[in-house]
Amino acid sequence: MKQILIIDDDEKLGKLLVQYLERYDMKVHVALTPSKGFELIKKIKPDLLILDECCRRKMALRFAVKYAPSHPFMVSYQFLC
């Protein structure tokens, strides 16, 4: 089973993404803050990391230096309302 980590401060959107991705036999974890996201990256070693645009900006440099070599699959998104 693939492990997916979503780092997004929008709890409702995170729940929707979890419901959708779990239909496809994926284990989905959600972190509401970048710091919680870093903890989960170490713990679960996700196959895919999905970041919202706000969190991506906060984490980009730290993530690139620390985790990018061992976690090459990262998706960033931004919803405009």
Task: Please give the Cα distance from 40 to 4 (Å, whole number).
Answer: 10
- Is CATH 3.40.50.2300 the right assignment for the domain spanning 2-77? yes
Mean pLDDT over the full length of the chain: 78
Give pTM, 2 decimals: 0.73
Confidence of residue 19 (pLDDT cuts 50, 70, 90): very high
25 φ, ψ (degrees, to nearest 5): 60, 50
8 with 55: CB under 8 angstroms? yes
Helices (H), the chain: 11-22, 34-44, 53-66
> What does the pLDDT average to over 6-23?
91
| 25-40 average pLDDT score | 90
What phi, psi does 15 have (nearest 5°)?
-65, -40
Residue 71, pLDDT above cutoff 90: no
Domain boundaries, the chain: 2-77
Question: Contact 8/57 with Cβ under 8 angstroms?
Answer: no
